[in-house]
Structure 1
């Protein structure tokens, strides 16, 4: 199938088969491209930070913050 003819649902289905780190990389790339990109040095530094933080959570070095708690903090900050 030609990638140009894939629907969003088909793309999401393909993404489900990817490893979690590949999905994170894909999301980063899509977001960067949609906002004009990023220079290589910044991209490498950000990627290194993201991978370190993911590893810290996976190894138990730090605890993650539950998404509902994070969302509540964001709503409080923006006043919604």
Structure 2
């Protein structure tokens, strides 16, 4: 695989590329350790209690792209 010089991309272009790469993966593409799976299950179990504090990914991504905290 050829090496790619990512420093030629702007930070925004690198973030967009990372987002595109992560978005291209399915759950089956990302194996989880037993510990990671247990942590996800724990967080999912408490999500109903903490749902009011949840922020949709689209909003988080928009904030990151705009530089808004």
When normalised by structure 1's length, the TM-score is 0.37
Relative contact order higher in (CA < 8 Å, ≥ 6 apart): 2
When normalised by structure 2's length, the TM-score is 0.41
